[in-house]
Chain A
Amino acid sequence: MKRAHTLQCLSLALGLVLLCVSCVTPRGVVHGAQQGERADETPRRLAPVSPQQEQPFAPGSTLVPPLPLGIRELPEDRWQLLLPPRLPNPALEVLRLEEVRPLLDALAPLAPRDGPRLRLLEVPGVDRASPGLVPPWESRLRQEFLSRFGPPLLPLPESLAASRLFLALQLSTRYMADGIREAAVALFTSPAFVISVCLSIVLYFSAWLAPEPFFSKAFAATLTLRLSLVVGLVELGQVALACLRLYREVEAASTPEALEDASARFGRAMGGTYLRVLVTVGTLGLARFIPQVPEGGIWRLLPPVTSEGLVLLQQSASSAQVMADGTLIVSGVNAGTAACSGLALCSTSSGSPGGASGPSTRYGPPHTRKNPPHNEAIEGELATREAAGHTGLRKNKQQVDAQQQPLDDPNPVRGIKFRRPDASSVRPDGVRHNTNYVSNSRDLKRELEAFDSMVRADPGAIHELYMLDGTLVRRHVPSGVSYP
């Protein structure tokens, strides 16, 4: 019930994002809403693609005419990409068994083959396995996915192999189109594959529940960038929507019919392109376990070169965010890298003031010029400390002791019980180090009050108060502690 409620709320947000995305990115139109902005902010089109790069995707040899890709440079080495919806590619809408055979062979040793399809008819209800009885092979796959994608945003069933989601995915192949069904049946009878899809839904596609999905892990960011480039951002969102709808409906299903209906909707939504996306995300999460299939092999179900001539495997990003206006903002696509040349970004980034990679993206999302210097000072400070070997880096969080327990001011002034230092860390020798920056000179009195409060809360730590220009206002170094 609780899960269903959360999903209902969040799926509304997802729907709105997808609506925005599909509304603001009409086919074949590069966004030009910012025409009144500065010249250097005008959306750019990619440089013409060289004939060598412009290789059509092999299956079916159907040339898909390239649609313009809008690119705009943002501060702090970020790029805003308008990824127009892709024209349907008939070659991708069919998926043959031979295409997925190498992946199936690689996945086979990872998990015991599932039993007969009779189990698909079991009545949904409480998951069948006893809680906590996760087969070792599933645990391995879970850990691998978690290490790549980070913690889940949706509740992760105790045992995925015994979950309704697993069942529903297997059932869904009955409703898939003729051109993909044979391959789908082969894929969805592989327990390792079905688990990988379950994990993809809970760990990756669930990000689309947020109004503006943000991927801070390079792995997920790169995946998002590549998939968006090759199938389109709208289409990628639609795959996510289909997956999350399945998750929600399966959770809410109380009868076998309801489960079957959910599976049917999912199966019918899965065209060849979407299934290719699903297979790519799922198998990439297991890449470490299938070394016999190199990364290029995992991406083999999608065109190696986009319609603009971008070599897919050359594209990477350290973070990516799907914006409500239908664009994708990426960072970590540095000048001089293959990714940069592949995206034809170098020509627009050279000489940009934000060209050198600064510290500000290391501790938080990329900043825009709207960010005040106060934030930049904190980011810079934390970056310096990390380089110096500090641990326990915290930003604007409640003051804590060595056991990470909150520390109050024993003599609070004006009823203010605790403080949130701008930057906190623990030196390699174990000494805590808190720093505040005067964000506004009119607030100096409050800043000094806060400084004294932090000292009283933790006299054994180093405390500093700086002006934004680096001028030291106050420093407390406990007795017996060396500084710096």
Chain B
Amino acid sequence: MAREWDVKQWREELVAACRFGEEARARALVRQPGPRKARALLESMLDAEEGLVRQAAVLGLAELGGAASARRLEQQLVREEARGDRDGDSVAEAITRVLGELEETSARASLVRRLERLATGKPDLGDVNTLARALWHKRHPELLPVVRRGLEKLALSEMNSLGGLLVLLEKSPGELQSWALDSSVSVERKTEVLTVLEEEVPEPLVPAVLAFISTAHALLGGAVNRETSYYCERLFILLLRHREHLIPLLPPESRAELREVARRRVEAFALHDDSLRAAVLLQYVGKPEDTELLEAHRPAEPVLAKVFDDAVAVLRGLPARGP
């Protein structure tokens, strides 16, 4: 009886951890029962009616890893797609993400098959973007024709990550660097590439990231429009997502460029709450004198105001205020 209750409790805690995005906690929970028992429990959770329970099972199986997980996850992916409902969509998204992260080589083939299935219909743009990001983790020259064919079939009119993935697969690091600086290439296409790089920035592509920063700086000279604003926003997301890795690698000139771009974003968009990431970035590349700018544009909303306050505190060399 007590044993049964423990399993129930374990399952509830795992679902809650996944729902709140607490990956470390979820990983620890998955390891608790031992791999064999955990796999059995997780596989039974895949049959649950509630999408959140199935999502938790997906994350758990990914944590266990191995060929068995990869196989079971692809099988589940097909089932979730067949459901054709919102729960199925959310679980399919979770599976796509974890297939990108699994080390199993078969995961790439699973993702390719997902792309082929999506390309036969009119998929949700978000699903295409998630898949492109997952495929980037599994980058390999053999993906080139698959991605090209997928793009042809999908004929997407909107900005999308699959287009960005194609550019990344086609170009060498040196070519990508030149491409990022090429003013004849549209900002939208460059943004597409940024959305994929957000997922992972391999070491050889760090110079290309510097080129993307230079491009953002160059865009300050032109008219500010929705496309350039969005480009900057995605660049900030990329840099902040990999802040521990990328920020220390920035040379002084890139830091200076980035600082100027961030300052301009704070000045121009503070009223529309769009300057939050710029404020966060300033705490990494800004100077003490930027505190004035941040205080002048500090939003009223407490959650957002705290982000500005934290940045100011860092820039002043003071410890950040507690929650």
Contact = CB atoms under 8 A, between A and B. Distances in A.
Interface of A: 2, 6, 9-10, 13, 146, 150-153, 155-156, 207, 209-214, 216-217, 363-365, 367-368, 370-372, 375, 382, 393-398, 400, 403-408, 410-411, 414-420, 439-440, 443, 446, 449-450, 452, 455-456, 459-460, 476, 478-480
Interface of B: 16, 19-24, 47, 49-52, 55, 71, 74-75, 78-79, 81-90, 93, 109, 113, 116-118, 120-121, 124-126, 129-130, 133, 158-159, 161, 195, 198, 230, 234, 236-237, 240-241, 271-274, 276-277, 280, 299, 301, 303-304, 307, 310
B285 to A, nearest CB: 14
Given A151-B120, A216-B84, A404 B125 contact: yes
B86 to A, nearest CB: 4
B89 A397 contact: yes
Nearest to B18: A420
Contacts of B118: 151
Contacts of A446: 16, 20
Q: Is the interface of A mostly helix, strand, loop or mixed?
A: loop
A408 B240 contact: yes
Given A13-B75, A364-B85, A415-B24, A460 B280 contact: no
Given A151-B120, A398-B93, A479 B86 contact: no
Given A394-B86, A398-B130, 17 more contacts: A151-B120, A214-B82, A216-B83, A363-B87, A394-B89, A395-B51, A396-B52, A396-B55, A396-B90, A403-B158, A403-B230, A404-B129, A405-B195, A406-B129, A410-B236, A460-B274, A480-B271
Nearest to A416: B21
B73 to A, nearest CB: 11
B121 A459 contact: no
9 contacts: A2-B113, A146-B121, A375-B50, A397-B93, A398-B93, A406-B133, A410-B307, A480-B271, A480-B272
A468 B133 CA distance: 35
B85 A216 contact: yes
Centre residue among B22, B90, B234 by max chain A CB count within 10 A: B90
A405 B51 contact: no
A394 B94 CA distance: 13
Centre residue among B20, B50, B82, B237 by max chain A CB count within 10 A: B82
A479 B273 CA distance: 8
A457 to B, nearest CB: 9
Centre residue among A212, A363, A411, A415 by max chain B CB count within 10 A: A411
Contact of B280 (A372, A382, A410): A410
Contacts of A151: 81, 117-118, 120-121
A146 B274 CA distance: 41
Contacts of B116: 155
B191 to A, nearest CB: 8
Contacts of A406: 129-130, 133, 198
A9 B71 contact: yes
A210 B125 contact: no
The 6 closest A-B pairs by CB, nearest first: A459-B273, A404-B126, A216-B84, A395-B86, A404-B125, A151-B121
B304 A365 contact: no
A395 B87 contact: yes
Contacts of B276: 410, 456, 459
A459 B307 CA distance: 12
Given A394-B90, A415-B24, A459-B274, A365 B83 contact: yes
B307 A411 contact: yes
A210 B79 contact: yes
B255 to A, nearest CB: 18
Contacts of A152: 117, 120
A382 B195 CA distance: 28
A374 to B, nearest CB: 8
A368 B102 CA distance: 33
